Structure 1
Amino acid sequence: MSDNKLVAETRTQFGKGAARKIRRDHKIPAVMYGHGAEPVHITLPGHDTMMALKVANALLTIVIDGDEQLALAKDVQRDPIKPVIEHIDLVIVRKGEKVTVDVPVHVEGEAAAETVVTVDAQTIQLEVEATNIPENVVVSVEGLEAGTQIKASELELPAGSTLVVDADTLVVNITQQISQEALDAEMAEAEAEAGIEHEEAGEGEAAEGEQPEAAEGEATEGGQAESEDA
């Protein structure tokens, strides 16, 4: 059974008002269904549930009136601002049953110098046993050169897993790191195409320290105009 055991309570009141009251009591409204059973509306302990769901595809043991049922969180609705779970849809699973889940991709190692590693697929869809869902799929990029691409078919899958996603799905792409000179050249080209011009330093302004010539007859420092005969 799962290590994530959550003691639930059945609920008979529904709607936004009832849901708000449940959340004020630091609990989470949820519904559990699957295998042809009627949906069961329950409340879950807020803190323990949030801790359990920090791990992707966490297998939960839901305890209702002493009876235990394995379940996976199929849909988790979170508040867009506050760190609060608003509602959870749970799907019932059974020991030995195969389920399809999105498993996170974890990259480890360092690629060759002056390369950039891009993870194109953050998760990979696999078919696995409900009671043996892997935490992640590990991809090593140690020493790989620019131009290397790792596709889904090349992944080393966890034991008992079957690939569901297209085998040609790009998972990791390794490219050459762009130099500062090349980046500056690209920026200059883009600005030129956009018609952006930069004024040269001092353009349109008098040179530093340069003073305009005094007009003929202009007052001198002493406040008197210079005469031609002076």
Structure 2
Amino acid sequence: MPDRPTIQAEERTEFGKGAARRIRRADKIPAVLYGHGGDPVHLTLPGHDTMMATKVNNAVVELQVGSGRRKQLALVKDVQRDPIKPFIEHVDLVVIRRGEKVTVDVAVTIVGEAAPETVVTVDNQVVSVSADATAIPENVEVSVEGLEAGTQILAGQLTLPAGVELLTDPEWLVVNISQQQSEEALEAELSEAEADAGIEREESDEDEAASGDAEEKPQESDSE
């Protein structure tokens, strides 16, 4: 479990796109803190410290807010990132308290190597769990070491840390291990697909030709 970072936060009273742009130009990040029935608190966070803290999933941070440095634990709920530039546009934080349970999605991480000539497919990248707010696992590791083709790992078979409860349907397929196709089989499939495409093109050309002949055929006159 990584150390919980401390972030110096300032309350803000300016809102809107213009205010957000000014905050970002100062290498800071606009954020909002909410939860436990209280009014949302709009914050400004330091850019570098926030970027480092949000590198892990479900990060829990300790905020020191305002001139009085009021301390508050918070779960990083959502991070909005610029689609092109490497910076954070906005952060949503949820108030948490020691000892309470929170519901989060935890990433599934594959470790080990399956048996030769197999393909490992992760059908569900995350699972939903209930965990202590101050002990949220960063991920759930799934070992596929030496597993043979045909092996399936369901959500209910995952090994979770103590105190973490699975909320995802236990019957959900998480990892599937299948037999790798040989080069010969792949080439045969490709050849068959190309042959089918060729037949479809020929049939389409024949239909177009028949349609063209019908349109060019002169109409017989009903008059004598």
Q: With structure 2 as the length reference, what TM-score do the two structures score? A: 0.85
Aligned to 1:89: 92
Contiguous gaps of at least 5 residues in structure 1 = 198-230
Aligned to 2:203: none
Give 1:138 shift.
Answer: 1.0
Q: Does 1:166 align with 2:185?
A: no
**Aligned match for 1:180, one of 183, 196, 202:** 183
Give 1:3 shift.
Answer: 2.3
Larger Rg computed on CA atoms: 1
User: Identity rate of aligned residues, in percent?
Assistant: 66
Give 1:196 shift.
Answer: 6.9
The alignment covers a number of residue pairs equal to 196
Letter in 1 for 2:196: E
Give 1:112 shift.
Answer: 0.8
Aligned to 1:17: 18
**1:54 aligned counterpart, secondary structure:** coil
Over residues 62-88 of structure 1, what are the superposed CA-to-partner deviations in whole Å (9 max), with x where a residue is unaligned?
Answer: 111311101011121111100111011
Letter in 2 for 1:90: L
**Aligned match for 2:198, one of 188, 195, 199:** 195
Contiguous gaps of at least 5 residues in structure 2 = 201-224
Aligned to 1:125: 128
Q: With structure 1 as the length reference, what TM-score do the two structures score? A: 0.83
Higher helix share: 2
Give 1:19 shift.
Answer: 0.2
Aligned to 2:139: 136
Aligned to 1:41: 42
Tell me the distance in 1 between the aligned counterparts of 2:74 and 2:50: 13
Letter in 1 for 2:165: T
Tell me the distance in 2 between the aligned counterparts of 1:135 and 1:75: 15
Tell me the distance in 1 between the aligned counterparts of 2:54 and 2:79: 9
Over residues 22-71 of structure 1, what are the superposed CA-to-partner deviations in whole Å (9 max), with x where a residue is unaligned?
Answer: 00000000010100111100100001100010011110101113111010
How large is the Cα RMSD of the aligned pairs?
1.2
